[in-house]
């Protein structure tokens, strides 16, 4: 049983100019993020371009990452797939190399959208593994909204203990907080308020470019130093608003590159920022430099 409190950084997957994973940079990034004090790393995250990674690439990322982390923080591995048997296979592989938890999307793209169907999907995966499962509520991407009632029901399973809530609906988020399960915020622009409301922690893409600030924000909230937390938040917010409304992953990766974390390269079909988007991103990052 894992404790996924704190800053779980939804880690980028660094690519070279030809679109191949740069494992040397990957290992370098892990060390940098650990030095920043993150509490967990999410490998194969959405920010890590999971949809565009092969199963074998994910397996190698997870094996290399877990081995290098060596227990210095939690490691959450995404094992999402369209085919249930593939989810089980990916999940078991991640567990076998030492992952602390799994992150699994609901059965998106014309899968069952009724709550009984979604429950059955997770129930089968839950029965196949022995580590914690993090469900993933991101209806803007999947078309499936996980209700608080469904999350509470899922929390009765053996391993289903968390939900990552990236929907951005703070009313639903607070309903999740009233269930038996533990909640991890995934909407960048509500991070501070989710922590104040009682979220166990966050799975945070923007932490790729501001890991020290992300960890500091969590520390300030847990220490109840709210004035300082809000001051820091005001420096973070402009870039968070930009990435949430813009092309998310390319923006996060470019911001990370500008701040010394990674290559900034994306894998097709994602594209680099336009010159106008680049200028707006740089402007939004200004307060972090002050």
Structure tokens at 208: 């790729």
DSSP string for 28-51? HHHHHHHHHT-SEEEET-TTTTGG
Q: Closest by alpha carbon to 74, among 137, 12, 134? A: 134
Total-model pTM: 0.96
Backbone angles phi, psi at 53, to 5 degrees: -105, 145
Would you say residue 246 lies in a domain? Answer: no
- Round to whole Å and give the CA distance between 256 and 262: 6
- Round to whole Å and give the CA distance between 214 and 40: 12
Looking at the 3D structure of the chain, how many domains does it have? Answer: 1
- Round to whole Å and give the CA distance between 114 and 287: 44
The pLDDT value given to residue 290: 66
- Round to whole Å and give the CA distance between 23 and 21: 6
Would you say residue 175 lies in a domain? Answer: yes
Give residue 22's domain range: 6-223
- Round to whole Å and give the CA distance between 118 and 212: 37
Would you say residue 251 lies in a domain? Answer: no
Which ranges constitute the DSSP H helices of 129-190? 139-142, 148-154, 170-176
Structure tokens at 284: 């939004």
Would you say residue 261 lies in a domain? Answer: no
CA–CA–CA angle 245, 283, 22 (5° rounding) = 75
The pLDDT value given to residue 266: 97
The pLDDT value given to residue 171: 96
DSSP assignment letter at 147 = P
CATH code (residue 149):
3.20.20.70
Would you say residue 14 lies in a domain? Answer: yes
- Round to whole Å and give the CA distance between 25 and 9: 16
Tell me, rounded to whole angstroms, the distance of Cα 137 from its chain centroid: 11
Backbone angles phi, psi at 43, to 5 degrees: -95, 140
Run of H or E residues at 273? none
Would you say residue 216 lies in a domain? Answer: yes
Task: Give tens-digit pLDDT for 199-242.
Answer: 999 999 999 999 999 999 999 999 999 999 999 999 999 999 99
DSSP string for 50-100? GGGS-HHHHHHHHHHHHHHHTTSSEEEEE---SSHHHHHHHHHHHHHTT-S
Would you say residue 273 lies in a domain? Answer: no
Q: Tell me the Cα Rg of the chain.
A: 18
For the CA atoms of 168, 50, 213, 131, the dihedral, rounded to the nearest 10 degrees, stands at 90
Instruction: Please say whether the beta carbons of 170 and 190 come within 8 A.
Output: yes
DSSP assignment letter at 180 = S
Instruction: Please say whether the beta carbons of 199 and 225 come within 8 A.
Output: no
Q: Closest by alpha carbon to 270, among 53, 11, 27? A: 53
Would you say residue 38 lies in a domain? Answer: yes
pLDDT tens string, the chain, 290 residues long: the values are 789 999 999 999 999 999 999 999 999 999 999 999 999 999 999 999 999 999 999 999 999 999 999 999 999 999 999 999 999 999 999 999 999 999 999 988 777 778 999 999 999 999 999 999 999 999 888 888 899 999 999 999 999 999 999 999 999 999 999 999 999 999 999 999 999 999 999 999 999 999 999 999 999 999 999 999 999 999 999 999 999 999 999 999 999 999 999 999 999 999 999 999 999 999 999 999 86
- Round to whole Å and give the CA distance between 10 and 77: 10
Is 109 in a helix, a strand, or coil?
coil
């Amino acid at each position: 049983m894992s404790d996924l409190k704190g800053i779980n950084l939804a880690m980028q997957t660094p690519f070279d100019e030809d679109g191949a994973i740069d494992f040397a940079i990957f290992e370098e990034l892990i060390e940098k993020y650990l030095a920043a004090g993150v509490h967990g790393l999410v490998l194969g995250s959405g920010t890590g371009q999971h949809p565009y990674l092969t199963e074998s690439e994910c397996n190698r990322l997870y094996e290399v990452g877990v081995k290098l982390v060596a227990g210095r923080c939690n490691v959450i591995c995404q094992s999402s797939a369209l085919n249930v048997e593939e989810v089980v296979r990916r999940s078991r592989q991640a567990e076998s190399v030492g992952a602390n938890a799994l992150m699994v999307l609901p059965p998106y793209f014309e899968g069952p959208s009724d709550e009984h169907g979604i429950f059955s999907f997770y129930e089968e995966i839950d029965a196949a593994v022995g580590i914690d499962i993090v469900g993933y509520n991101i209806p803007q991407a999947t078309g499936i909204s996980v209700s608080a009632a469904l999350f509470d029901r899922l929390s009765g399973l053996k391993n289903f203990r968390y939900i990552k809530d990236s929907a951005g609906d703070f009313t639903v988020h607070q309903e999740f907080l009233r269930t038996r399960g533990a909640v991890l915020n995934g909407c960048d622009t509500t991070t501070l308020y989710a922590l104040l409301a009682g979220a166990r922690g966050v799975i945070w893409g923007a932490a790729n470019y501001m890991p020290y600030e992300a960890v500091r924000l969590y520390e300030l909230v847990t220490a109840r130093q709210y004035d300082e937390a809000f001051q820091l938040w005001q420096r973070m917010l402009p870039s968070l608003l930009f990435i949430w409304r813009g092309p998310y992953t390319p923006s996060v990766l470019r911001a990370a590159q500008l701040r010394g974390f990674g290559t900034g390269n994306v894998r097709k079909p994602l594209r680099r920022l336009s010159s106008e988007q680049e200028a707006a991103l740089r402007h939004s990052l200004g307060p972090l430099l002050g």
